[in-house]
Amino acid sequence: MKAFEYAAPRRESELAGLFSGRPGATAVLAGGTDLVGLMKKMIVAPDRVVNIKEIASLYGISADSAGVTVGAVTRLDEMLDSADLDAFPAVKQAIRGINSMQLQSQGTIGGELCQRPRCWYFRNGCGLPTELGRMVERGDNRYHAIFGNRGPAKYVSASRIAPALVALGASVRIVGPASGEAVEGPPKNGAPVAQDGNALGEAIMPLADFFVTPRAPHQGETVLDPDQIVTHIHIPRDEQIASATYEVRQSEGPEYPLAAAAAALRIEAGVVTEARIVLGQVAPVPWVSEAAAAAIVGQAVTPESARAAGEAAVARATPLSQNRYKVQLARVSVERAILQAAGLETGGF
Amino acid sequence: MSHVQAPEASVRPTKNVHVELTVNGEPREFLCAPRESLLDVLRNRLGLTGAKEGCNNGNCGACAVILNGVPVNSCLVLGVEAAGAEVETVEGLAKGSHLHPLQQCFLEDAALQCGICTPGFLVSAKALLDRNPDPSEEEIRLHLAGNLCRCTGYDKIVRAVQDAAKANT
């Protein structure tokens, strides 16, 4: 690991002076389950590491009539234990899928969303993503994308909780320097002000817009600039929405799924009136399937309608040379996430 | 680093950070560079070599310790992060020559072969029993899924944890 400076601010306002706008110069440390491993392999080699876990305002779960807000450094095991999140089974099921007590009790929700791709070319120092595109296309791409893979980025988005959160319509709060160009969205009154007078800007955006597919080497997998961080995730409350996450995993260990899907359904009088279906581990971003949603809306949830939605979800898949098998797994994930959300038997294991 | 301006007091330099913490109930202190992991510090600076370096990447659980009450892979924690923390390692399980029930049951049930994963299993199992004194077999298997053993096939480990839970109640 390269030597680095270390800072552990205690207030959000202290962040303004700690970040450099230079890509890669500063790394944000939360649970460390991804970052520390990347630093050991020198895939990430920052000059400064900023530990945000000691900022009290970024920690904890609060609920009101509008929804539930989870601070970015809240641990995944604390989310599992929270009764406030019982209304969102898709989120808890996704966390339970991370079959390692250590990773659950060390990992944070902000870090889970911002973790880097598991792509083995990237993890072995080949970079991401443009220089990789051709290498992945010709090489071993069995775990790579089957959607959104026509550009240079062919890895899959690593987050296992993002599909559930996107399906539930969650939003993220981001802070960074107020003067920066990158803070999007309307500035809010009461944005925190740094000690040295530099204002911190705040943006709140749908989580669905947070993930992006990079087209060039300097672009990241999210909209975050090098001096911005995620501070909170907000899940809107809607008692009528039933949700579930279904992952296809090779075994019971803590490895990443081969395919996954989250479904959020509004079911009225036995018929789905609104649906949001989001696939995981199949594209460089959590992959929202309008086609699957359209296939299930207006239908009662049955094994047949769920299967039709699964087929609609993968109809336009573009598998690479070695990952055609993932099309079937993605289809089954969608089918079973819908069945599970509706409280029906999913079949399988 | 001159590329960023920051309140000097909050940025620690690249070398020799002084850290105070509690390890197995006793106050300890050490100097370490920010880039040293908690596992490095425990083994190399505090002489506690019970936690093992397996994959060094969070996959195998051989380095598990209990940090502020929850099990973590110490290879993925920076030593400087442990400032003010309470750390429990496998060395803290036995009281003198009196083994912890988990250790006794691991011995009696032959729940180890080469032994390199055993400290991690003991620590993870202790974290489980601290939280849930009477876990089901499925709960034990799920809880220990982040610990890898390439010798025993896990059955004997699960039996030992079940027996230790019985011995505790």
Burial-class residue B22 by CB neighbours within 10 Å (0-12, 13-18, 19+).
middle
**Contact check, Cβ <8 Å, B7/A17:** yes
Residue found by looking up tokens 């690249």 in the block: B14
Residue B161 CA to residue B29 CA, distance in Å, equals 33
pLDDT in tens, A183-194: 444 334 444 444
Residue A330 CA to residue A336 CA, distance in Å, equals 10
Q: Residue A277 forms beta bridges with which residues? A: A263
The tokens describing B98, both together, are 């009196």
Confidence of residue B68 (pLDDT cuts 50, 70, 90): very high
Checking if the pLDDT of A55 tops 80, the result is yes
Its ipTM equals: 0.90
pLDDT in tens, A162-210: 999 999 999 999 998 775 444 444 334 444 444 444 578 899 999 999 9
Higher-scoring residue by pLDDT: A7, B5: A7
Burial-class residue B34 by CB neighbours within 10 Å (0-12, 13-18, 19+).
buried
Give the per-residue pLDDT at A255: 86
Domains, chain B, in order of start with CATH, read 17-91 (3.10.20.30), 101-168 (1.10.150.120)
B111-142: buried (b, 16+ CB within 10 Å) or exposed (e) per residue?
bbeeebbbbbbbbbbbbbbeeeeebeeeebbb
CB pairs under 8 A between A and B: 129
Phi, psi of A31 (to 5 degrees): -70, -25
Q: Which of A17, A36, A195 sits opposite B76 (nearest CB)?
A: A36
Checking if the pLDDT of A297 tops 60, the result is yes
- State the nearest Cα–Cα gap between B94 and chain A, in angstroms: 22
pLDDT in tens, A110-131: 999 999 999 989 998 887 765 6
Mean pLDDT of the B149-167 span: 94
**Contact check, Cβ <8 Å, A254/B14:** no
Residue A331 CA to residue A315 CA, distance in Å, equals 9
Q: Which residue of A has its CA nearest to B73?
A: A102
**Contact check, Cβ <8 Å, B78/A75:** no
Residues of B in contact with A2 (CB under 8 A): 35
**Contact check, Cβ <8 Å, B33/A196:** no
A32-41: buried (b, 16+ CB within 10 Å) or exposed (e) per residue?
bbbbbbbbbe
- State the nearest Cα–Cα gap between A211 and chain B, in angstroms: 25
Domains, chain A, in order of start with CATH, read 240-344 (3.30.390.50)
CA dihedral A193→A196→A197→A200, nearest 10 degrees, is: -40
How many CA atoms lie within 13 Å of B63's alpha carbon, on the beta-carbon side? 22
Checking if the pLDDT of A138 tops 80, the result is yes
